[in-house]
Amino acid sequence: MDSNSTPEAYQGPTRSAKLKPPRRPKLEDIKLAHVLNGHTCPPISFTDFASYLAKREMTLENLLFVLWFRSYSHRWAQASDTHRVPVPLTELHHRHDPFTHLTVSPDSWLDPIDQPMRDEAQRAFATFFQHGATRELNCTDDLRGFVGTCLRRSTAPEVFRPVYDEVYGTLEMQSLPRFIDLIRSNTNWKKQGYWCMVGAFDLLCGIILFVLLTLFLKPTHFSQRAIRLPSAIFVWFGSGSLYSAYRGFCSHVWGRSSMQIKPWELDEWARREDGTAEG
């Protein structure tokens, strides 16, 4: 073996790998779990999302049900095994008879009155599932009937699992993307339309100026054609304004290090202003 050769060994990460900055998550990568667990900050924090659901979509009951179910499942899992009752099946073809898989006799089950958190489960049903309830969920009668049937014999979280899966999917696949799309913009539609008109006007002026300078000026040396360059300024500014309007970006708001107040934030903003005035 050559004395000048070096044995093959792990040399550690290269310098380029060490200097590579960590990947910043994109808005598209944000999931509902990130918001619920407090892993996001304003303007996409849990409070902002709850305000959006309450003031814009009017579906705050979906979020409240998800939060309650997560807490209920955690506390039910801590109950004694001797107080737990059989878990119903949640597949679609078992909706009308969810306890057919059990072979134990009904006499061996814990009496419904003595099951853990029975009162809380009944209050949740009255709050989220009864017609005309204060926080009635927009679920099918099939799911509503499934929950009512299972609650007569079990208080297991699986009683509410089909509804939870449906509501959670609605929040993550519909409400959260719409919320992020609105938060992505830092301007309202009026100012967005204003910048769109300004951009179109400047772009049109630049094109007209370029055409006029090209058609009516006498042919000159190439170095003397720089007089056409002012038209590029209008084209550049107009194109930038149109792109900013398309992306929902306002340079005035950004230049002041501010953010656009959303409609569902107006009540909170008014309360802050009233508190400042009273102080």
pLDDT, one tens digit per residue, over 218-249 is: 766 665 667 778 888 999 999 988 988 887 77
- pLDDT of 89 over the 60 cut: no
Residue 206 vs residue 98, higher pLDDT = 206
Nearest to 117 by CA among 151, 66, 167, 165: 151
Q: CA 1 to CA 10: how far, in whole Å?
A: 19
- pLDDT of 278 over the 60 cut: no
CATH topology of domain 27-184: Regulator of G-protein Signalling 4; domain 2 (1.10.167)
pLDDT score recorded for residue 116: 76
Task: Identify whether the C-beta of residue 233 lies closer than 8 Å to the C-beta of residue 206.
Answer: yes
Q: CA 201 to CA 260: how far, in whole Å?
A: 25
pLDDT score recorded for residue 101: 45
pLDDT score recorded for residue 42: 82
pLDDT in tens, 169-205: 999 999 999 999 888 877 777 888 888 999 999 999 9
pLDDT score recorded for residue 26: 78
pLDDT score recorded for residue 219: 66
* DSSP tag of 108: G
- pLDDT of 93 over the 60 cut: no
Radius of gyration of the chain (CA): 31
% of the chain residues with pLDDT over 90: 33
- pLDDT of 109 over the 60 cut: no
Mean pLDDT of the chain: 78
pLDDT score recorded for residue 17: 47
Instruction: Please state the rounded mean pLDDT for residues 133-147.
Output: 90
pLDDT score recorded for residue 102: 43
pLDDT score recorded for residue 107: 43
Measured at the alpha carbon of residue 142, what is the angle toward residues 136 and 146, in degrees to the nearest 5? 85
Q: Which of 46-50, 53-57, 86-90, 263-267 has the lowest mean pLDDT?
A: 86-90
pLDDT score recorded for residue 268: 61
Residue 15 vs residue 273, higher pLDDT = 273
